[in-house]
């Protein structure tokens, strides 16, 4: 069933055709948002956004390039001159209105998210709730950013410390969490007085566009929030401009370590403020003292959320030899019950991989492992009977250090299980990589809990828990997993600089 509706946006009074049935989510044509105006690309070109579950085109969005991005940067810089002088209370109130609108429309946003990403609708709804929590958090934190008055050693001087917004920030966000990553970055930057230019992933721009419609309705002034949509052909050039343009003060990026390195180099000449949330290779350790039922249930959530396509997904399963067989048996019994399919179908827990490149990578990883002696306990092949981008939930044992699943991030629904003997061995294997985002372990030994959490070389640790991210906690990694922290009271630090003022010759 179809219906016409008039957009509420005062600057986008166009009739849009949307499908309102179970799979209804987005319009045929969308526009980007620059300087308070809904606009097409200067070139007039569009690119298609498809549902990975069935390959059907969901919408077409502007294929913007460097000229469009430059206009967005200029608009953000101009808007910053006023936005930086708004009060924390004013910014807090606008952010709160944005949060309220996102909550009111979270079901619609979730449908759009499922249509373009393929993740199950229930999971999409969870992401929207999670993402919204950051907008709420930073709307409240906006009024809590405090400076200091430091006691001077000279009686005639006063030392004042306060935080100021850095300026225009480029936000480059990934396809696996198209709502949450924008919310987590944009809300933090906006809360302290920065303006933003958002470049969402080319696979999932529709959720971003929908979010910005509510930001406009909330009352953000023109130019404070801008969104540019680009196809793969233009994405690299647009990213380069954001990194190298002198009007952009900072970049926040979530994505692969490979791309993060490129952006790091591109930001070097300008010595820009840089926040990088990059790839991981998360260990999940099951010690012999663990509650195996808790470990299995938590492992399923950590591994198979978004079909394994999360940076904090458990990647290397390390199980102590005393409980290895029991854990594998319990795990497989749960894995075989997982339901795959179109994200709009009731009861679906696993959707498709995002694109053909991702499917080929997962297929290659499993083939590499089996060719070197790994044993497939369950799964191990594409689920072509469901669609072109589906891959069966897979469990592999007999993993050795020469396999890709041992050394590289899988980013798919594949569990590789390694048997270990001692705690020291497990720690050594866990730390034997150049990334360190998240790590998980399961133990009922309190001494072991403190020992292992200290010795794991990761920015985040989940103990007897597979879901660890929330607005109140700092999210980020060490080593080549990135720079900076998102969320928590630390989440604004990437977007402010510290100004020291010395007032002298006081009587």
Q: What positions carry a catalytic annotation?
A: 277
Q: Could you write out the DSSP letters of every residue in 165-201?
A: E--EEEEE--SSSTTHHHHHHHHHHHHTT-EEEEE--
How many Cβ atoms from other residues are within 10 Å of residue 488's Cβ? 18
Burial class (CB in 10 A: 0-12, 13-18, 19+), 212: buried
Burial class (CB in 10 A: 0-12, 13-18, 19+), 6: exposed
* Rounded Cα–Cα distance for residues 131 and 147 (Å): 28
* Distant-in-sequence contacts of 255-262, Cβ < 8 A, 24+ apart: 255/172, 255/174, 255/279, 257/435, 257/480, 257/481, 260/480, 260/482
Beta sheet of 496-503, edge-to-edge order = 148-150, 158-165, 496-503
Q: Could you write out the DSSP letters of every residue in 390-457?
A: -B--EEEES--TTSHHHHS---SSEEEEEEESSHHHHHHHHTSSSEESEEEEE-S-HHHHHHHHHHS-
Q: Which residues of 449-458 are buried (b: 16+ CB within 10 A; e: fewer)?
A: beebeebbbb
* Rounded Cα–Cα distance for residues 392 and 349 (Å): 12
Nearest Cα to 166, choosing from 183, 148, 147, 191? 191
Nearest 5°: CA angle at 504, between 499 and 507? 140
* Rounded Cα–Cα distance for residues 291 and 95 (Å): 42
* Rounded Cα–Cα distance for residues 238 and 241 (Å): 5
Query: If phi over 0 gives left and psi between -120 and 50 gives alpha, with beta otherwise, what is residue 198?
Result: beta
CB distance 77 to 226 below 8 Å: no
Burial class (CB in 10 A: 0-12, 13-18, 19+), 269: exposed
Nearest 5°: CA angle at 34, between 32 and 35? 155
């Amino acid at each position: 069933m179809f219906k016409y509706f008039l957009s509420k946006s005062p600057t986008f009074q166009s009739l849009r055709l949307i499908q309102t049935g179970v799979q209804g989510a987005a319009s045929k044509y969308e526009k980007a948002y620059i300087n308070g105006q809904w606009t097409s690309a200067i070139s007039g070109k569009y690119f298609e956004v498809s549902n990975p579950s069935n390959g059907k085109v969901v919408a077409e969005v502007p294929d913007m390039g460097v000229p469009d991005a430059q206009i967005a940067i200029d608009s953000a810089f101009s808007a910053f001159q006023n936005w930086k002088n708004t009060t924390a209370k004013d910014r807090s109130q606008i952010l709160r209105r944005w949060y309220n609108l996102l909550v009111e429309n979270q079901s619609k946003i979730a449908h759009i998210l499922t249509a373009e990403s393929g993740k199950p609708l229930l999971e999409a709804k969870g992401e929207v709730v999670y993402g919204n929590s950051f907008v709420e958090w930073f709307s409240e934190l906006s009024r809590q950013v405090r400076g200091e008055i430091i006691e001077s050693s000279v009686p005639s001087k006063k030392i004042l410390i306060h935080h100021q917004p850095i300026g225009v920030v480029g936000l480059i966000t990934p396809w696996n969490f198209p709502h949450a990553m924008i919310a987590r970055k944009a809300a933090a930057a906006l809360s302290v007085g920065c303006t933003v230019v958002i470049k969402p992933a080319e696979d999932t721009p529709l959720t971003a566009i929908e979010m910005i419609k509510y930001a406009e309705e909330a009352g953000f002034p023109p130019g404070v929030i801008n969104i540019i949509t680009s196809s793969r052909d233009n994405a690299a050039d647009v990213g380069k401009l954001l990194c190298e343009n002198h009007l952009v003060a900072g970049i926040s990026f979530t994505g692969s370590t490979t791309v993060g390195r490129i952006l790091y180099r591109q930001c070097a000449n300008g010595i820009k403020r840089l926040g990088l949330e990059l790839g991981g290779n998360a260990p999940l350790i099951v010690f012999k003292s663990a509650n195996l039922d808790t470990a299995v249930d938590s492992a399923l959530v950590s591994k198979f959320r978004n079909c394994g396509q999360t940076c904090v997904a458990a990647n290397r399963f390390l199980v102590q030899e005393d409980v290895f067989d029991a854990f594998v048996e319990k795990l497989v019994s749960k894995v075989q019950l997982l339901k795959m399919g179109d994200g709009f179908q009731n009861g679906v827990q696993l959707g498709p991989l995002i694109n053909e490149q991702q499917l080929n990578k997962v297929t290659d990883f499993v083939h590499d492992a089996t060719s070197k002696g790994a044993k497939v306990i369950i799964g191990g092949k594409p689920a072509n009977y469901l669609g072109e981008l589906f891959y069966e939930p897979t469990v592999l044992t007999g993993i050795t250090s020469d396999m890709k699943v041992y050394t590289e991030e899988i980013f798919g629904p594949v569990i590789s299980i390694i048997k270990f003997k001692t705690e020291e061995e497990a720690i050594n294997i866990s730390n034997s990589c150049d990334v360190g985002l998240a790590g998980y372990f399961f133990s009922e030994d309190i001494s072991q809990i403190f020992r292992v959490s200290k010795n794991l070389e990761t920015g985040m640790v989940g103990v007897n828990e597979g879901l660890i991210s929330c607005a109140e906690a700092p999210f980020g990694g060490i080593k080549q997993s990135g720079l900076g922290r998102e969320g928590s009271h630390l989440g604004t630090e990437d977007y402010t600089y510290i100004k020291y003022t010395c007032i002298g010759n006081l009587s």
